[in-house]
Structure 1
Amino acid sequence: MRELSYLKLLAREYPTIKAASSEIINLTAIQGLPKGTEYFFSDLHGEYEAFVHLLKSASGIIREKITETFSHIIPEKEEVELANLIYYPERILNQLGMDGQADDDWQRVIIYRLVQICKVVSSKYTRSKVRKKMPKEFAYIIDELIHVDYNDDNKRIYYSEIIRSIIDIRVGDKFIIALCELIQNLTIDNLHIIGDIFDRGPRADIIMNELLQFHDVDIQWGNHDISWMGAATGNLACICNVLRIAISYNSFDVLEEGYGINLRPLSMFAARVYRDDPCTRFSPKILDENIYDAVDPGLAAKMHKAIAIIQFKVEGQIIKRRPEYDMADRILMESIDFKQGTVTAEGKEYPMLDMFLPTVDPADPLKLNPEEEELIHTLQLSFKHNELLHKHVRFLYSHGSMYKCYNSNLLYHGCIPMKEDGSFDEIQVGSRSYSGKALMDYVDQMVQNAYFLPESSKEKQEAIDFMWYLWCGAKSPVFGKGKMTTFEHYFIESPVAHKEPMNPYYKLSVKEEYCDKILEEFGLSKEGSHIINGHVPVKIKEGESPVKSGGKLFIIDGGLSKAYQSKTGIAGYTLIYNSNHLALAEHKPFDPNKESTPRVSVVENMKKRVMVADTDKGAELAVHIEDLKELVTAYREGILKEKVE
């Protein structure tokens, strides 16, 4: 018999044998349903329009459901129109209303078609689960329509009268919107984001707002997410880094319109200090036009250079403060020969491409001058006391982690650091070393400490510094490279100096034996389990495949970010895991004026249909069922008394 105190707590929710038995029957029935559909996205990089479209369209699966339901009944043009209505109901209804097309007959036909799609996408869920997802004002009506018996003449009349009444009382538009949103909610059961929501693209804040509204989402932090999380803790190097990347990609809207970060002090400082410097090496990449905050490219280049120089200084200060990072060779500001105009990197001397460094003291290159000190303090306050940013960061913490094991899949963004011989690399912390799963758990705890420990804590400052190490440290699981050559890209012409050696993980993990080693390290079976990974764009145009290691490893960064699409040849992937198979949706570059349904291909069929009982949720239900059986036994044996009204 389980602990009596636990059964007493359970009895509060199920006070009678009838209540407990009813729940046992309900949970057992749920175990017999097909598992819900999981969607895996990676490396969103602020591309909010493309991501929102993929979310609303379920990466093309809604279009597939329409074709399956109405194939040979309605023409393809109407299929596309129905799909677009489901994705963007308010916008489409407004357009049709202005054109006079959304009359009563049109609404009647559309409601019928939407109900049919609702029936299809809700078929794998319990009636109560579907009901919970319905908008309250229409829940009863939708429930009736979805479960109508078309073989019953009376029911058909009843069905028609419901639709006629909806149209007669002029709530047809609202009802259509409710059906469209329900279809969206039912198509994606679980959403997994395999890191890198931030940077490069225009509006990561809009993506975060979408995720806040989603019913079931988890996030595996990427290096760009960690950098923003570090900035929120007040880490000066992370603050400089997120500003530098945003300015370098002309993403001023996310900073000023999205998060309300005042860049005027930086722009004034940069305009004055670099007044006569064209800052050619720091010209921004203009992939997206700013809507709210257009900044002259010449001024943006000056701001870019100003924040980069400050970043190199504060990074050097962290490296000196933390010798355990073993990164002294990355303090290149101290390796500049100001007389010769050269810099020494890894023992080789290179000419500097830009020697106009008015804020750098050759005698103490890492020292911030008084203006820089004041500027960075002002920027730090903007990040530490930013209400929306911290709302988003808290969501990253509450719904995020370094990795996740879920339904026999291991999810993480970057890598599990490895050595050339295939053993797990370790980080030494005092007398202890961490590698493999233990390293990921240690990093997870350090990320938590950086945000949640008291300000006065010594451990908090250590964790805040560590957030920057995770961005670019050689043994960081979210970085996965031997070094980051940001300084070299700005100041050294040689491509050799620009190289960032990948962790051995990336060449080893494509071999099945090493995938098995990683899966076993995290307690997953070698058979039927997968690693789902992001971080490194898959270059389809060069013949690369996202499916590796005999189907055990999926790398799903295919270039949703515009910055990578010329290299990858596509616009990213969605991995879709339903009860029958694993499928990859290959995205086209997003164009709001074009039909862009992804190409979906099945990459693995399940040996048998996966039911809820076969999932992690099913295992939880099984435990709960056993608890309820214990409770029923306790009632029957008189150990606990039923509360009979």
Structure 2
Amino acid sequence: MRDLAYLKLLSREYPNIRAAASDIINLQAICGLPKGTEYFFSDLHGEHEAFIYLLRSSSGIIREKIRETFGHIISEEDEVRLANLIYYPEKMINQIKQANEYTEDWQKTAVYRLVQICREVSSKYTRSKVRKKMPREFSGVIDELLYVDNTDDNKTEYYSELINTLIDVRVADSFIVVICSLIRSLTIDNLHILGDIFDRGPRPDIILEELMHFHDVDIQWGNHDISWMGAATGNRACICNVLRMALGYNGFDVLEDGYGINLRPLSMFAERVYRDDPCTCFLPQILDKNIYDAVDPKLAAKMHKAIAVLQYKEEGQIIKRHPEYGMEERILLSAIRYDRGTVTIDGKEYPMRDMNFPTVDPADPLRLTDEEEELLHTLELSFRHNTRLHEHVRFLYSNGSMYKCCNSNLLYHGCIPMTENREFDGLMVGGKMYRGKELMDFIDTQVKNAYFLPEDAPEKEACRDFMWYLWNGAKSPVFGKDKNRSFEHYFIEDPEVMRETMNPYYQLSEEEETCDMILKEFGLPTKGSHIINGHMPVKIKSGETPIRAGGKLFIIDGGLSKAYQERTGIAGYTLIFNSHHLALAEHKPFDPERERTPKVYIVEKMQKRITVADTDEGKELAGRIEDLKELLKAYRSGLLKERIR
């Protein structure tokens, strides 16, 4: 008999045999249903319009459901219109009204078709699960329409009367919005985001708002996410880095409109200090126009240079505090020969493209001027006390981690650091060496401590500094390169010195033997399991494929960010895992004026249809069933007394 105290606690929820038996029957039935559909996205990089389209369209699956449901009954043009109605119902209804096409016939047809699609996507769920997903508004009407018996003439008449009444009382548009939301909710059971929500694209904050309203989402942190999370802790190097990245990609909207960060102190400082400096190497890449705050590119370049110099000062101070990072050679402001206009990197001397450093003292290059100190203090307060940013960062913590094992899949953003000898590389922290899964678990704890430890905790500063190391440290799993060469990109002409060497993981992981080793390390079976990660854009233009190691590894960063699309040739991938197969959706570059349904193709068929019982959720339900069976024994043996109402 299980622990009696636990059974007594369970009896509060199930006061008698009937209640416990009823739930056993329900849970056992759920275990026999097909598993829910999981969606995997990576490297969203602030591309809010493209991502929201993919999320609302279920990466092309809703379009497939429309085609399966109606076949050749409706034209391809009508398929597209119906799909767009499901994705953006409010927008489409407004357009139809403006075109004077919002007739009674249009409303009846739209409601009928939407109900048909909703039946299709809800068919693999229990009625109770569908009810739970229904928005409260119109839930009774939807329930009746979904389960109407079309063979009963009375029910058919009832069905028609429901639709007519929706139109008569002028709530058909509200009903359409609600049922479209339900359709979208039913097509994606679980959403996995494999890191890098932030940077490069215009509005990562809007992506996070969308994710916060999604019913089941988890996030595996990427290095760009870690950088923003570090900035929220008050890490000044991370603050400078997120500002530098945003300024480099003309991201004023996310800073000022998205998070309300006051950039005026920085702009005034930059204008004063770099007044006559053209800052040519710091002109922003303008991939997206700012809607709310158009800043002159010349001023943006000055701000960009000012924050970059501040970042290199702050980074140098962190490196000095932590010799265990082994990054002394990256204190590059100290490696400049100010009298000769050169810098020594990796033992070689290079001429500098730009030697205007009015705030740098050659005798003490890392020292902040009084103005710089005041500016950084102001910026730090902007990040530390930013309500919306901290709402988003807390969401990243509550729904995020370094990795996740889910339904025989191992998810992480970048890599598991390895040596060329196919061994897990180690990171020494506090006199202890961490490798493989232990390293990922240790980092997970340090990331949480950096944010949640009290300010007066002795280890707080070290954890906060470690957030910067994770952004660009050689043994950081979310970085996966030997060095971050941003300094070289700004100040040196020679392209050879800009090359960043990838961790051996990226070559070794293309072999099944390596993937098996990693899967075993994380307690997953080698047969039927997969590793799924992003971080490195897949260049299909160069013949690369997202499927590696005989189908055991999926790299799904295909370049959702506009900054990558010229090199990759596509706009990213969605990996879709349903009860029948694994499929890849290959995205097209986002264009709001054109049809852009992704190309979906199956990459692995399951040997048998996967049920809920085969999943991690099924294992939890099996445990729950066993607990309830023990509760039944306790009632039937008289060990616990039933409460009969």
TM-score range, shorter chain: over 0.9
SS in 2 for 1:458: coil
Q: Deviations over 1:366-424 (max 9, x none)?
A: 11111000001100000000000000000000000000000000000010000000000
**Which residue of the partner structure matches residue 287 of structure 1?**
287
Using the TM superposition, give the Cα deviation of residue 429 of structure 1 relative to its aligned residue in structure 2, in angstroms: 2.0
Is residue 2:517 matched to residue 1:511? no
Is residue 2:274 matched to residue 1:274? yes
Question: Counterparts in 2 of 1:12-27, with a 5 A limit?
Answer: 12-27=12-27
**Which residue of the partner structure matches residue 485 of structure 1?**
485
**Which residue of the partner structure matches residue 373 of structure 2?**
373
**Which residue of the partner structure matches residue 501 of structure 2?**
501
SS in 1 for 2:145: helix
Q: Deviations over 1:163-187 (max 9, x none)?
A: 1111111111011111111100001
SS in 2 for 1:513: helix
**Which residue of the partner structure matches residue 241 of structure 1?**
241
Contact persistence 2:539–2:558 (CA under 8 A): yes
d(CA) in 2 for partners of 1:607 and 1:459? 50
**Which residue of the partner structure matches residue 453 of structure 1?**
453
Q: Deviations over 1:286-329 (max 9, x none)?
A: 00000000000000000000000000000000000111101001
Is residue 2:601 matched to residue 1:613? no
d(CA) in 2 for partners of 1:13 and 1:342? 73
**Which residue of the partner structure matches residue 91 of structure 1?**
91
Is residue 2:339 matched to residue 1:343? no
Q: Deviations over 1:462-493 (max 9, x none)?
A: 10000000001000000000111111111111
d(CA) in 2 for partners of 1:128 and 1:104? 32
Question: Counterparts in 2 of 1:126-275, with a 5 A limit?
Answer: 126-275=126-275
Is residue 2:599 matched to residue 1:599? yes
Identity %: 71
d(CA) in 2 for partners of 1:276 and 1:489? 22
Contact persistence 2:236–2:380 (CA under 8 A): yes
SS in 1 for 2:459: helix
Structure 1: gaps spanning 5 or more residues: none
Using the TM superposition, give the Cα deviation of residue 458 of structure 1 relative to its aligned residue in structure 2, in angstroms: 1.7
d(CA) in 2 for partners of 1:84 and 1:409? 32
**Which residue of the partner structure matches residue 37 of structure 1?**
37
Q: Deviations over 1:559-595 (max 9, x none)?
A: 0000000010001100000000000000000011100
d(CA) in 1 for partners of 2:89 and 2:430? 58
d(CA) in 1 for partners of 2:443 and 2:430? 15
Question: Counterparts in 2 of 1:477-626, with a 5 A limit?
Answer: 477-626=477-626
d(CA) in 1 for partners of 2:98 and 2:345? 64
Moved over 2 A (4+): none
Greater shift, 72-81 or 135-144, is seen at: 135-144
**Which residue of the partner structure matches residue 627 of structure 1?**
627
d(CA) in 2 for partners of 1:546 and 1:116? 35
Question: Which amino acid in 1 is paired with 2:37?
Answer: T
**Which residue of the partner structure matches residue 8 of structure 1?**
8
d(CA) in 1 for partners of 2:313 and 2:167? 66
Question: Which amino acid in 2 is paired with 1:149?
Answer: D
Q: TM-score, normalised by structure 1?
A: 1.00
d(CA) in 1 for partners of 2:210 and 2:362? 48
d(CA) in 1 for partners of 2:430 and 2:171? 67
Using the TM superposition, give the Cα deviation of residue 102 of structure 1 relative to its aligned residue in structure 2, in angstroms: 1.2
Q: Deviations over 1:597-628 (max 9, x none)?
A: 00000000001000000000000000000000
d(CA) in 2 for partners of 1:614 and 1:400? 24
**Which residue of the partner structure matches residue 432 of structure 2?**
432
Using the TM superposition, give the Cα deviation of residue 72 of structure 1 relative to its aligned residue in structure 2, in angstroms: 1.1
**Which residue of the partner structure matches residue 475 of structure 2?**
475
SS in 1 for 2:397: helix
SS in 2 for 1:284: coil
d(CA) in 1 for partners of 2:101 and 2:194? 42
Using the TM superposition, give the Cα deviation of residue 521 of structure 1 relative to its aligned residue in structure 2, in angstroms: 0.3
d(CA) in 1 for partners of 2:313 and 2:169? 67
SS in 2 for 1:344: strand
Using the TM superposition, give the Cα deviation of residue 430 of structure 1 relative to its aligned residue in structure 2, in angstroms: 2.9
d(CA) in 2 for partners of 1:9 and 1:624? 14
Question: Which amino acid in 2 is paired with 1:556?
Answer: I
Using the TM superposition, give the Cα deviation of residue 137 of structure 1 relative to its aligned residue in structure 2, in angstroms: 2.4
**Which residue of the partner structure matches residue 444 of structure 1?**
444
Length, aligned pairs only = 645
**Which residue of the partner structure matches residue 79 of structure 1?**
79
Question: Which amino acid in 1 is paired with 2:116?
Answer: Q
Contact persistence 2:137–2:178 (CA under 8 A): no
Q: Deviations over 1:117-154 (max 9, x none)?
A: 00000011111111111121211110111111111111
d(CA) in 2 for partners of 1:147 and 1:192? 31
d(CA) in 1 for partners of 2:207 and 2:574? 16
Q: Deviations over 1:6-56 (max 9, x none)?
A: 000100000000000000000000000000100000000000000000010
**Which residue of the partner structure matches residue 63 of structure 1?**
63
SS in 2 for 1:137: coil
d(CA) in 2 for partners of 1:137 and 1:197? 32
d(CA) in 1 for partners of 2:357 and 2:71? 66
Using the TM superposition, give the Cα deviation of residue 636 of structure 1 relative to its aligned residue in structure 2, in angstroms: 0.1
Question: Which amino acid in 2 is paired with 1:495?
Answer: P
Q: Deviations over 1:306-364 (max 9, x none)?
A: 00000000000000011110100111110100111000001000001100111100000
Question: Which amino acid in 2 is paired with 1:42?
Answer: S
